[in-house]
Structure 1
Amino acid sequence: MLEFAEAKYTDRTTLFVEVILPLAIAINYTYRVPLELNDQVAIGKRVVVQFGKSKLYTAIIARITDRAPEKYEAKYIIELLDDVPVVNREQLQFWTWMADYYLCNIGEVMNAALPSALKLASETKITLNKEFEFDRSELNDREYLIVDALDLQPELTVSDIAKLLGQKTVMPILKQLFEKNIIIISEEVSDRYKPRRKTYISINPVYHNSAQLQELFEILERRAPKQADAVLAYMKLSRQQKAVLKSELIEASGAGAAAIKGLIDKEIFFAEERTVSRLREGDEELEANFELSPAQQVALGEIKTQFEQKDVVLLHGVTSSGKTQLYIKQIEEMVNSGRQVLYLLPEIALTTHIVERLRKYFGAAIGVYHSRFNDNERVEVWQKVLNGQYRVVLGARSSIFLPFDDLGLIVVDEEHETSYKQFDPAPRYNARDAAIYMGNMYNSKVLLGSATPSFESYYNAKGGKYGFVELMERYGGVQLPATDVVSITEETKKKTIQSHFTSVLMQDIGNALTAKEQVILFQNRRGYAPVMVCRTCAYTPKCVNCDVSLTYHKSSGRLHCHYCGYREESPAVCPACGSTQLEYKGFGTEKIEDELQLLLPDSKIARMDLDTTRSKNAFQNILNELEEKRIDVLVGTQMVAKGLDFDGVTVIGIINADSLLKYPDFRANERAFQMLAQVSGRAGRRGKQGKVVIQTYDPGNRVLKQVIENDYIDLYNTEMPERKSYKYPPFYRLININIKHKEAEVLHNQAEYLAKELRQHFGDRVIGPEYPMVGRIRNYFIKSILLKFEKDGVSLPKVRATLREVILNYNTTKLSKGSIVQPDVDPY
């Protein structure tokens, strides 16, 4: 554990600092402090140190002492980078807990926690910020040399710049250039987040005069009747509302985009792009000064009462019940008391939807933090939280690492979501569970919200560990959607199925499109076809790096591996037997989109999955088109289940529910219910009851019945005895250990040895080793050992300490050569 006490030393005392390096090393290194820096070093400040023969790293001071290390001679720190600490003591305590709980090293936590620009190292890549204009005459000689070199070579490492300047201490210079926004850190590959923009139309003020307008109208009626229709539609819309959207004008006039463009070219209309919220104008739910419904008022009162006795409260509210409004009331109260709030969301896409709603209350005091931001933007948010400028922060799971100093409330929205779990690399943490620890550390309240809570949270709430509040009434009295379960087998026998679409689904799609309504179709697999098979010899193309078949993507015409990214050309001839009888088995979103377009040639079909949302702002663009009703049918993976809330969507189709229900995982039924309930909740959320069609080969499945009846309680009550019987959460804690090696036989021996060592300590709580579903990824073979520990009567800190010792001892044996051991606490 880190020591946080800071003794007082004289100017002449030889000081040493224990630092955290952004590396997976088990013990922190100690460095010597030059005497002239004695009064400047402080816990949480960054220092530049040499580690190894020549590598430079930015490290965080974790401890200050006057004792030299016994086992090695301490090197001097090269540079102190900060005037004030960039990491506070609460964060260091949090990092220490996370490293201990999730069986990793504190350097790995630091690496995940800090934006890249705060941890520059020798190999960090530097590029010029081309979006920022600056006066080069204001640069000093060294800064000018760096900028000049970046003009000639667009990307340089810190080591390159050190050689260029002929000195080791380049970090402070790079820090100055970064703070001036002149350079950016190119380790961050995500797109820069951009707000949504819409085009608004206004009429030339000349035509505010009724006589001038009448004259214009008469000319247009004779020469350009479509443009006349557009002007007439504009006048009607402008009387009804303050601002007229271009998309609304096109729809209302029926004149088409060309007619509007013609009017803009003639300077009769002016077009203006504005940054807007994704929220619909005039929507009662999103008003700044909204009124809570009676059910919401009761729930809010219960939350406050529960918080008097419990630090964590679970809010179980059905989809569209107005949970966000209750969050806002709680946030408002906390901000008024002067404390900070963290609002966690499982998906980056949801932040746009929520942030504008909160900005109506908190203005510039609200910050957003997620991976769509580049590194400059992340550091800016970090500094504003550190300085207390942001009182409310919205973010994805990484925002738990921000430097809060007085956190009063943490809201975890959709607390059941798997997106809160970090799988790779370490630390393999769950942001929801980490948030609960943070709440305890900061003496703050934690509000968990979900329409379909995780069984662990519900179990803790029903057992009295958490407070519990229910909100079972939809906001505005909107009914839950009507649900039909349709047998694919029956429709196939009757020959009423078209491609992958049953007659029931096609009829509902047709009715919706006739009524100018929209449809969302859910298929939880991307690509065109999951498997290519030779009909002659049954050959299937497989990834060269992983033990998985390649998925065919029609858009690229290539076979893709969804695990490592490997791609190869789709063969015309079987490479095994030379046959041309190659066919595609199964279907993904791409194939659904393709075949639906053939069945509905006059409709606009779009697709939302990982492939269509890779490019800059692609996700936002699809949502814009859906909201503006330029998309009739949206086909997508689980992305479509989260955060979409549009008036026009009245029909939801689940193409094949069996891919969720038949998954080999103890959580399969729980997750299938959560996913199907979330997808179903997208239909008919305003004014009109929606319709959900679930296609399946197993229409009698118990979980489908529970989804139709929206009976979470029955699901919970039927699943829990099985969980207890087979020793799964919430009754048992799981720790999974993956062992990886490039040779299968060596891996087998290593895994058997490690499992044997673990059984000496934990007995029959150790299961395996076994190959996981995918036994080789990126040329590493994998075996898994699962450990199950009862919650009562077992000291989990002792378990983790023993595990560390066993893994350390294993790593010191010759047998471990070439292997990678990855423990994962609470893995699912």
Structure 2
Amino acid sequence: MEERKTYFVDVILPVPINNAFTYRVPFEMNGHIKTGVRVVVPFGRSKLQTGIIIKIHEIVPEGYQSKYVEAVLDETPIITGKQFKLWNWISEYYMSPLGDVMNAALPSNFKLGSETKVLLHPEFEMNLDLLTDKEYQVYEALEIQKELDLKEISDILGIKTIQPVIKALIEKRVVITQEDLKQKYTPKTQLFVELSEDYQSDEQLKAIIEVFSEDKRKKKQLEVLLTYIQLGGFKQGVSKPILRADMIEQGVSASSINTLDKDDILKIRRIEISRLESKEDADKEFMELSSEQQRALNEIRESFTSKDVTLLHGVTGSGKTEIYVELIQEQLDQGKQVLFLLPEIALTTQLIQRLQRYFGDKVGVYHSKFNQNERVEIWNSLLHNDTSKFQIVLGARSAVFLPFRSLGLIIVDEEHESSFKQYDPSPRYNGRDTAIVLRAFHEAKVLLGSATPALETYFNAEEGKYGLVKLDKRFGDLQMPEIFTANIKKEKLQKTMQSDFSGFLVEHMKTALENKEQIILFQNRRGYNPVWACEVCGWNPHCKNCDVSLTYHKNSNILKCHYCSYFTPPVGACPKCQSNRLKMIGFGTEKIEDELSIILPGVRVQRLDLDTTRQKNSYENILRDFDDRKIDILVGTQMVTKGLDFDNVSLVGILDADMMLNRPDFRAFERSYQLMSQVAGRSGRKKKRGTVIIQTYDPDHWIIQHVINHDYMGLYKNELIERKNYFYPPFYKMINLTLKHKDPNKLDMMAADLADRMKQVFGSRVLGPEFPVVKRIQNSYLKVIRLKVERDASNKKVKKILQKKIDEFYSLAHNKSVRLVIDVDPI
């Protein structure tokens, strides 16, 4: 670029605004600006923001004087052209501001704004001599003060643009940002035992063993050394750390290990370990596929010759993962990258470990629960097309935003899962659908896998838009689980219920436990009791911020709102009529856990729900304990339906099927079938046929009968007729508009105004406005307007007209106070 030319750049910022902002480039930066690089720019009166250049030009903005770019943060672009195309598509399709898409797409270490808090890195061990004067000043200030924002650092350094200094400190691992802290930046560590340097040779080790062998008082210490060697701590003259817990499990005492540590023969060290499987070389050979799996694999290959997207409809336990592994290897052989999308990384630990055993350190995990440095490392590796690592990325929906260079295959496992849809904040995108669009930019292929596909997906397959491959048999010819119902109404009359458990289920649980087999119990509601009620006047405690009842949590002895987290101590008497006759109605996972200890004393029970898995490693720990048979009964919410594969589970109990079936939602039956079928599939996966018991007041309900018969096609055909008759997906597309305001009267008027404007164009396709099931959340009242549009209508045209009507609505001053949330393709 010419040195003295006047350039302008269009920059997108991580703020909820659709437009790019134009800034002037100082002459001295002319040679450093490129599209896709980050720049620091002034935003508002005194704030600085990090944005990305999307266009360089010489057009002088009209009507205002543009501000100057403060600094360029990158030498090379951090996003690719394909990524930016995807951002634009998400912004247009989901009617979301481009700034929101940028905010969701970039790791937080890439976004340094005025309000970013900076803290010292908890593991900083670097030589301070390697810091520049300015970097050292920041380090010194953070030693005195725990955290600083960018303005405070700017004052300390006496310069305005300090983002480049912070960027350098992050890269040198001297500081972390507040976003890292929110991820509870504490590395996972465990105690390891290793030979001290004085004994790390064959001669020295033999000598000390001989000394211990001759001294009877050293018998226990000798056992420690021999156990250490037996576990592989010393091989061919090389010492390696051994997990202290593994040595204790072999029978040596902790005190003997401590004695050897004091004597400087062994050293106990705390070592950081991976939160998943350690990244080692691949050590597992591919399993030989069954004839059914091989047929499915061949059909997928054949399908990919004519279709870009293929659905693998394989029953639970049919061995879909082994097919995925074969397809991944084919892509690696071609030097291509693979994206493996999962509904929730934390619940699919087993799959991550299996893939890492096949592919070693070529597997990278990208997910919001991992620290920012790890996420940036994967980002940069993919950006620079480093095929020596991270050729396979396992991730939740946000992994679609990564800068792939040579993407060959996208696998979306459990594609029906609602977790692929982002609810809050904007952009409210669907990871599965976005992956299908991402495919087009890379000319890659997409494989959708599910035992219970989403109706829309199966419809697309039947219509010929997607390929369809079926896998109807379980691996090893294992039979599908046998499913029974327990009639709660009948058992209550016969008085055979034991609290919330049918006698039928209790008998089967006792039999399973006698056979040393494990049990999974599914109840899609956490807490102890969903509702408290006064027997005299019917009063029940409600959240002060939301229009919902409070749920009782016995462990913490609080009444809690599951929408806004408000909580209060339980009341002793009804505040309305002063009666102390308060009863608990319904049951959640916490109550089930409590009651099992009474019905089946001595049984080891563990919950797997949001309350027990708040800490970062708790998912893995609970699943590992269950796999190691330290837990007899696992009680859980939806979490127990996904990604679990245990050899010893013979019984699954579904405790309240009616709660799922009676939800006021057009997808209630589809969801109920999926949840019940998925959790049923956890039973009898290896050795023998499993058993499933569904507790219900209505055993003849047609959905329950389809679950019993493993009849997905029956569900699909019935639901398709209903969807067509009532204008629902897949025949119609839906857009939900939710208006929020603290004043219900104003909300009524404004919602009616927007609905009327929409009806002028879309007519009877507009439904509402109406209150949702929960009409107030966090002190804001809600009203929903639904727009249903024919499947063959132009998406762009519909959204353009809708946006015009929204802009007209907001052009009136009295409407500006209402908040509008747009949800395209709600789930």
Change (3 A) 1:783 1:43: same
CA distance in structure 1 between the partners assigned to 2:47 and 2:614 by the alignment = 34
Change (3 A) 1:492 1:56: same
Of residues 119-128 and 271-280 in structure 1, the stretch that sits farther from structure 2 once superposed is: 271-280
Counterpart of 2:305 in 1: which secondary structure? helix
Of residues 697-706 and 262-271 in structure 1, the stretch that sits farther from structure 2 once superposed is: 262-271
Contact 1:193/1:372 (8 A) holds in 2: no
**Aligned counterpart in structure 1 of residue 316 of structure 2, from 315, 319, 323:** 319
Change (3 A) 1:761 1:502: same
How much has 1:407 moved relative to structure 2? 1.3
Change (3 A) 1:559 1:460: same
Contact 2:739/2:783 (8 A) holds in 1: yes
How much has 1:191 moved relative to structure 2? 3.8
Change (3 A) 1:675 1:248: farther
CA distance in structure 2 between the partners assigned to 1:651 and 1:44 by the alignment = 54
- Which residue of structure 2 aligns with residue 430 of structure 1? 430
- Which residue of structure 1 aligns with residue 362 of structure 2? 365
Counterpart of 2:45 in 1: which secondary structure? coil
CA distance in structure 1 between the partners assigned to 2:244 and 2:670 by the alignment = 44
CA distance in structure 1 between the partners assigned to 2:394 and 2:547 by the alignment = 39
**Aligned counterpart in structure 2 of residue 159 of structure 1, from 148, 151, 156:** 151
How much has 1:234 moved relative to structure 2? 13
Which letter maps to 2:299?
E
Of residues 10-19 and 449-458 in structure 1, the stretch that sits farther from structure 2 once superposed is: 10-19
Of residues 359-368 and 76-85 in structure 1, the stretch that sits farther from structure 2 once superposed is: 359-368
- Which residue of structure 2 aligns with residue 729 of structure 1? 729
Contact 2:605/2:633 (8 A) holds in 1: yes
- Which residue of structure 1 aligns with residue 617 of structure 2? 617
CA distance in structure 2 between the partners assigned to 1:140 and 1:236 by the alignment = 49
Q: Does 1:394 align with 2:385?
A: no
Counterpart of 1:802 in 2: which secondary structure? helix
CA distance in structure 1 between the partners assigned to 2:556 and 2:499 by the alignment = 23
CA distance in structure 2 between the partners assigned to 1:196 and 1:506 by the alignment = 40
CA distance in structure 2 between the partners assigned to 1:96 and 1:200 by the alignment = 53
Counterpart of 2:565 in 1: which secondary structure? coil
- Which residue of structure 1 aligns with residue 641 of structure 2? 641
Which letter maps to 2:806?
I
CA distance in structure 2 between the partners assigned to 1:599 and 1:142 by the alignment = 66
Which letter maps to 2:817?
G
- Which residue of structure 2 aligns with residue 747 of structure 1? 747
How much has 1:247 moved relative to structure 2? 9.0
How much has 1:501 moved relative to structure 2? 0.8
Counterpart of 1:520 in 2: which secondary structure? strand
Deviations 1:733-764 (A, max 9, x none): 00000011110000000000000000011010
Deviations 1:106-155 (A, max 9, x none): 00100110111101100011111112312223222211221122122212
Change (3 A) 1:713 1:326: same
Which letter maps to 1:135?
N
Taking the TM superposition and a 5 Å limit, the aligned residue runs for 1:501-580 are 501-580=501-580
Counterpart of 1:300 in 2: which secondary structure? helix
Contact 1:345/1:413 (8 A) holds in 2: yes
Q: Does 1:597 align with 2:597?
A: yes
How much has 1:511 moved relative to structure 2? 1.3
Contact 2:412/2:447 (8 A) holds in 1: yes
CA distance in structure 1 between the partners assigned to 2:10 and 2:348 by the alignment = 38
Change (3 A) 1:494 1:686: same
- Which residue of structure 1 aligns with residue 100 of structure 2? 108
How much has 1:592 moved relative to structure 2? 0.7
Of residues 343-352 and 815-824 in structure 1, the stretch that sits farther from structure 2 once superposed is: 343-352
CA distance in structure 2 between the partners assigned to 1:797 and 1:574 by the alignment = 55
Contact 1:191/1:373 (8 A) holds in 2: no
Contact 2:654/2:695 (8 A) holds in 1: yes
How much has 1:799 moved relative to structure 2? 0.2
CA distance in structure 2 between the partners assigned to 1:272 and 1:627 by the alignment = 27
How much has 1:578 moved relative to structure 2? 2.5
**Aligned counterpart in structure 1 of residue 3 of structure 2, from 8, 11, 24:** 11
Contact 1:95/1:106 (8 A) holds in 2: yes
- Which residue of structure 1 aligns with residue 300 of structure 2? 303
Contact 1:638/1:675 (8 A) holds in 2: yes
CA distance in structure 1 between the partners assigned to 2:787 and 2:575 by the alignment = 43
Taking the TM superposition and a 5 Å limit, the aligned residue runs for 1:281-360 are 287-360=284-357
CA distance in structure 2 between the partners assigned to 1:789 and 1:193 by the alignment = 48
Of residues 100-109 and 160-169 in structure 1, the stretch that sits farther from structure 2 once superposed is: 160-169
How much has 1:277 moved relative to structure 2? 9.9
Which letter maps to 1:385?
L
Structure 1 residues without counterparts, runs of 5 or longer:
1-8, 281-285
Change (3 A) 1:124 1:248: closer
CA distance in structure 1 between the partners assigned to 2:595 and 2:75 by the alignment = 62
Which letter maps to 2:289?
L
Deviations 1:391-420 (A, max 9, x none): 211100101011112211111010000000
- Which residue of structure 2 aligns with residue 89 of structure 1? 81
Deviations 1:635-655 (A, max 9, x none): 111111111111122111111
CA distance in structure 2 between the partners assigned to 1:469 and 1:725 by the alignment = 29
Change (3 A) 1:201 1:143: closer
Contact 2:15/2:99 (8 A) holds in 1: yes
Contact 1:531/1:586 (8 A) holds in 2: yes
Deviations 1:226-255 (A, max 9, x none): x999999999999xxxx999999999x9xx
Contact 2:276/2:352 (8 A) holds in 1: no
Q: Does 1:407 align with 2:407?
A: yes
Which letter maps to 1:56?
L
Taking the TM superposition and a 5 Å limit, the aligned residue runs for 1:251-262 are 261=254
Change (3 A) 1:249 1:180: closer
CA distance in structure 2 between the partners assigned to 1:712 and 1:66 by the alignment = 60
Which letter maps to 1:34?
P
RMSD (Å) for aligned C-alpha atoms: 3.3
How much has 1:730 moved relative to structure 2? 0.6
Contact 2:286/2:358 (8 A) holds in 1: no
Change (3 A) 1:87 1:416: same
Q: Does 1:173 align with 2:156?
A: no
- Which residue of structure 1 aligns with residue 236 of structure 2? none
TM-score, normalised with respect to structure 2:
0.90
How much has 1:200 moved relative to structure 2? 11
Q: May I ask how many residue pairs the two structures share in their alignment?
A: 797
CA distance in structure 1 between the partners assigned to 2:529 and 2:116 by the alignment = 39
CA distance in structure 2 between the partners assigned to 1:569 and 1:806 by the alignment = 47
Q: Does 1:821 align with 2:813?
A: no
Counterpart of 1:187 in 2: which secondary structure? helix
Change (3 A) 1:247 1:817: same
Which letter maps to 1:338?
G
- Which residue of structure 2 aligns with residue 693 of structure 1? 693
Which letter maps to 1:814?
A
Structure 2 residues without counterparts, runs of 5 or longer:
233-240
**Aligned counterpart in structure 2 of residue 41 of structure 1, from 13, 33, 47:** 33
Deviations 1:281-329 (A, max 9, x none): xxxxx94321111111111110010000010000001111111111111
Of residues 475-484 and 541-550 in structure 1, the stretch that sits farther from structure 2 once superposed is: 475-484
Contact 1:277/1:353 (8 A) holds in 2: no
- Which residue of structure 1 aligns with residue 235 of structure 2? none
CA distance in structure 2 between the partners assigned to 1:87 and 1:154 by the alignment = 33
How much has 1:685 moved relative to structure 2? 0.9
CA distance in structure 2 between the partners assigned to 1:671 and 1:325 by the alignment = 27
How much has 1:76 moved relative to structure 2? 0.7
- Which residue of structure 2 aligns with residue 78 of structure 1? 70
Which letter maps to 2:78?
V
How much has 1:536 moved relative to structure 2? 2.6
Which letter maps to 1:732?
Y
Which letter maps to 2:159?
Q
How much has 1:190 moved relative to structure 2? 2.6
Deviations 1:182-212 (A, max 9, x none): 111112423458679799999x999x99xx9
Of residues 378-387 and 587-596 in structure 1, the stretch that sits farther from structure 2 once superposed is: 378-387
Counterpart of 2:659 in 1: which secondary structure? helix
Q: Does 1:385 align with 2:385?
A: no
CA distance in structure 2 between the partners assigned to 1:457 and 1:193 by the alignment = 40
How much has 1:276 moved relative to structure 2? 8.8
- Which residue of structure 2 aligns with residue 190 of structure 1? 183
Deviations 1:510-530 (A, max 9, x none): 111112211111110001111
Contact 1:192/1:372 (8 A) holds in 2: no
CA distance in structure 2 between the partners assigned to 1:611 and 1:351 by the alignment = 18
